Amino acid sequence: MDVQTGFFYLFSVVLLYAAVRVITARNPVHAVLHLILAFSQASGLWLLLKAEFLAIVLVLVYLGAVMVLFLFVVMMLDIRIETAKRSFWRHFPLAALIGALIALEMAAVLMTGFSGTGEPRAAGELVDAAGQALPYSNTQALGQLLYTQYLLPVEIAAVILLVAMIAAIALTLRQRKDSKALDPADQIRVRASDRMVMVNMAPTRRPVPQAEVAVEENKQ
């Protein structure tokens, strides 16, 4: 067994362990952390398949942005573990059936779809007369496909993501009666004379106790 095969088994074992822990961890924060571990191991498998661009995108986008966002959301939410457990066991038969179906489909593809294939190469990879792969950029090939053959689906996906972003911002910035906020425009327009107003008032005397008043009347 060479080094590449050893790394493949290492990444695969850790990936399977992390994936199982995602759905079996009792603490939702631990589940998100195991999901981050699963994505990191999947990026290692992409590197072994010579898809460096997809591996870097998986690390930067999912681990650097999406998973961090999930972690903050899970930590801010008040998740009741007991209610989640009851929901889990109620939907467990259907989930087990779907999981078994997906496992059978993956097994069928792995046993029949990739039999007799050689080392994975990028689509359109150049080879010389001896069958050796020539220098080829996986990122360049992916970019050419996205912006030529798949230009319309990419633009549609970009529009959908833009609409989702605008909707998320609109839902966050909605007016609420219980929220307290300051208007920066009012703070900029404020003047010193508006903060404090001097009012002329008549002087007041300290009230005299009733006992002192009675003593003065007796003297008179």
Structural domains of the chain, count: 2
Residue 4's contacts (CB-CB under 8 Å, 6 or more residues apart) are: 48
- What is the domain range of residue 28? 1-80
What integer pLDDT is reported at residue 124 of this predicted model? 46
Report yes or no on 155 lying in a domain.
yes
- pTM higher than 0.75 for the full model? no
Give the chain's mean pLDDT. Answer: 77
Task: In whole angstroms, give the CA distance from residue 125 to residue 77.
Answer: 48
- Residue 27: which of 85, 67, 105, 66 has the closest Cα? 85
* Residue 157 within a domain: yes
Instruction: Give the pLDDT confidence of 85-130 residue by residue, as tens digits.
Output: 667 777 788 888 998 898 888 788 777 755 555 555 544 455 555 5
Residue 46 lies in a domain: yes
Q: Which of 50, 62, 48 has its CA nearest to residue 139?
A: 50
Task: Give me the residue label for tokens 């007369």.
Answer: 129
Tokens matching residue 179: 């929220």
**At 34, which CATH number?**
1.20.120.1200
